[in-house]
Amino acid sequence: MWTLETPWYELVVRATCIFVFVFILMRLWGKKHMGELAAFDFIVLLFMSEAIQNSLIGDEKSIFGGMIVISTFFVLNILMNKITYRSRRMEKLFDGDAKVLIWKGKVNEKALKEEEITWQELHEAIREQGVLKVSDVKQATLESNGHISVIENKERFM
């Protein structure tokens, strides 16, 4: 239970490889999916977690083995946060950029297509912010965290 069956450095390498691989997959998956998980997205994440378990720890069953893998994830996360804090270029690489979806009541069709956001999803996002029509939106932005922020065009009502 407390004795490692796998060398600690192998667990660190395994965790690092899986961390990088899953990070790349999440970046390819897109911001939209990270903002709100649909039922299918949640199921995919559950299956992914089950599928990578053996890749992470192999035959290791000790408590320390799990602690080493979890600690590796925390250290990698801290390193990524420090790197993105110090470098705008790395922040853009790791986190991505925000994309303007609506500007002064006009929808950016290209951005919708690139991010695979449907009209229904866009309208739902602006309604959640209390705006009923696209023409009443000054700016709607898909943030790097997947959330759509909306600024209403208040001048239309004055």
Distance CA 155, CA 99 (A): 23
Yes or no: say if 115 and 32 are a contact pair by the CB < 8 Å rule. yes
pTM for this predicted structure: 0.65
Choose from 61-65, 102-106, 142-146 the range with maximum mean pLDDT. 102-106
156 pLDDT tier (thresholds 50, 70, 90)? low
Superfamily of domain 99-157: bsu07140 like domains (3.30.240.20)
Please determine, for residue 94, whether its predicted confidence score (pLDDT) is greater than 60.
yes
Give the position of tokens 């899986």. Answer: 18
Show the CA angle centred on residue 56, arms to residues 29 and 59, nearest 5°.
Answer: 150
**Which DSSP letter does residue 147 get?**
P
CB count within 10 Å of CB 99 equals: 19
pLDDT at 158: 47
pLDDT at 71: 92
Distance CA 120, CA 125 (A): 9
Where exactly does CATH 3.30.240.20 map onto the chain?
Answer: 99-157
State which amino acid sits at residue 133: K
SS3 51: helix
